[in-house]
Chains A and B, each alone.
Chain A
Amino acid sequence: MIRQENWKRQGDQQLGVLFDDGKVRRRREWRGVKDTLYDYGRWLGIMKILATFIAKPRNVKAMFRYRWMANYLAVPHMVDKFTMGLRDEALRIVHTSMDFVVYDVAKTMDNVFRGDRKTGNDKAFSDKCVLTDENAMTAFMMGFPTLKAILREVPTMFVANLLTQYSTTHYLDVAQQFGIPGDVCPMPEAEAGISIEDDFPVLGACAVQVNTTCDGSLMGNGIIAKRLEREYGIPTFQLVAPMRHREADVQDYAAGDIKQAIAFIEEHTDEKWDWKNYFECAKRVNEATRTRLAWLDINATDYPQFVGAPFSLYNDTNYMGNCGRSPDFPLVDAKILKYAETGCTEKRMMAPEYRHRAIIWGVQPQYCIDMLNWMVHCWGIVPLTDMLSLVNTKMIAEEDTPENREQAYYDMAWLNENMIMRNRTHGGYRVLVDELWEFCEQLHADMVIMWEHMSCKALDGMHGQFEEQAREKGIHLVWVCHDLCDPRVYTRQAIRDQLNVYMRTVLREEPLDPSIEFLPDENAW
């Protein structure tokens, strides 16, 4: 346990004071003069991003056209969830990362509506867009600097559910009315529902789908592709990421399919693959990898800094959605690293005690994404890292040579195979179970918070193995069951209660901040 005797949080002490039973918080947090002003300044920045976005008529039109757009009324609320209770460097790290994610998503949406046939309808722009999946590594776009990779499902489904907890329920109902059972993963199911209800923006010269992250995702793609192809005339390509991605004898196959994907894009966009741009992006991919490892090194010390959902969400955006293509990310990375280094040197903590060091494993509940931040303040459990952030650590070829041009297909394939989540949920039990214990050792964790996404069959299938092996190794394994993006199945409090019960009954501990042990946020955004 790490404890700082004289530690006192500036401003509000009992965070429960911010909550009532309403949709939004009673007020914003008092963080002391300096940090409140900082937070206020960042809030102004968010407001500016939103104002710039909504000033365009096509985006206003989109607001009235697409149901999922209503969730974007809650953007500042989402940022508040991530910054709850934070001060000093931790506050700055979260704002630096998440505000940039907000900016990036706003930019993506602006592009989406510009090309969208139902709103902006800029055909020339649309013809330079390639649709990709939400859960796709965009490595195959690294050599197309003049094309836009549009991750259409990110704003429609993924981010929407971070913003408001009930964002997917309507689409789940639509999908189930059409016969998809309620026991499949709600994420691809909701995406299928959006397609069925014709609530996706329609744009792009072509689309590339990937068999990530799971069987449900793979199968949902078929439903989406049928509508794209048959109704909107947008050709689709299905890019393969092999299941047993650590095996040497699948890499030729994976690389071969990357080549086919690139040829498909060239054919439908009249653009040529640009090696110079590819290797520039590759350098940035490596830089991002090095920075991510540096953050993890800091988190292995007694004073972790960049943690929780922002760590995961920022990495998702940078690693997967960006994949070295934007020159902006390295600047943000460097800024975060600087804050993290200072925070570690200054021994900054987010709570008076760090009682447990936890690895977060499994798939996070989208609608209860702030739980990791909550558990630091409520129980003194520090989330060191999560399964989704433990992705590629290998450096890829970054010099433009004839050999490296061939190697590049293997590197892109490798990145594609190591897309977040699927690099752990597929590839055999070694990557999911065995390596978890190795990470516990590396990061000095005594606890695993096991998100058990009840519809994630890949994870559920190893339930007993986790249970037995954790017991053998003397690691506290806390099962936290949820249904990813359907809060009707597990409410937020039902999710938190699983940890509360473990802490009180198994570990016999009392909360650091009892005012947030039970939060009345069932009706909240």
Chain B
Amino acid sequence: MAGWTRSDIGGFLAKQGILIAFFLFIIGFTIANERFLAPENIMGVVRSSAILGVMALGVTFVVISGNLDLSVGSMMSFSTIVVLDLHDKLGPALAIPAMFALTLCLGALIGFLVGYLKLNSLIVTLGMLSAIHGLTLTYSGGKNMDIADKGGTWFSIFGQGEIFGIPVPILIFVGLAALLGIVLARTPFGRKVYAVGGNGVAATFSGIRRARIVFACYLLSSFCVATAGLIQASRSLGSQNTVGQGLELEVLAAVILGGASLLGGSGTIFKTIIGVLILGFIQNGLLLVGLQFYAQYVVTWIIIILAVWLDIAAKRGRLWSPLA
């Protein structure tokens, strides 16, 4: 009988462990430094997490559908560079839709390769990471891209503006999260994404067009990337070609931290947001406690492993792997 209660506890930990860890962190950091919970600090953290968060929303769809997307970082560099370049050539009103269209084309290409041609998503997006980086460098000629008239453009509103005292990046993040959360949890499309990721063969037999769903997930992901690129470009009004480099792995870390399985079929938008916030608050909290910036990487490493390990341990009912 004792086993029952233990597995109950395990199940509870597995379901809510990440939330518990999140609250423990917040309590710990608050005790260490009372400024941690100050509204302006929280606002600052959410604001700086917004770019990562917006990208993580799209990748959540891709991961739930059972695939990976390693190309989001270089794709984000691409959209940032493109929108900054077109801003001076076409004006912001035309530059933004043009950038979205180009980024969606890239997403469609990946979606076609993974969805319709059924190629391995890890390798395809690895290849696209390299290819899109090359594309960006070709486009910009390797030079940094800057907006000529930084003071006189309304373009800066997406990254620097505030509405009712709330920074616009946060509003975009929250709005997009709410929208995509509803799409994933409450629509037939969302249900099909889970079905395709959970058991692709069964989904196909029950009449779901797997290829189309996967395609749509990548399209969605590239839309989120374009939005993140827009925020990034608008925030800095100038950019290097490598602005998004390495972000793909941080995004993936946030999604995994949220409890999505890399095998597909599980994960939610809400949990991904928690994952993003955990990364953001850890970074901020460690700095406030006085540790150096790079200690967050080590802590993130430990947290990712622990989160996934406990999740697996709760599912199999024992802590250590039975592997001989």
| A is bound by B | no
B positions within 8 Å CB-CB of A: none
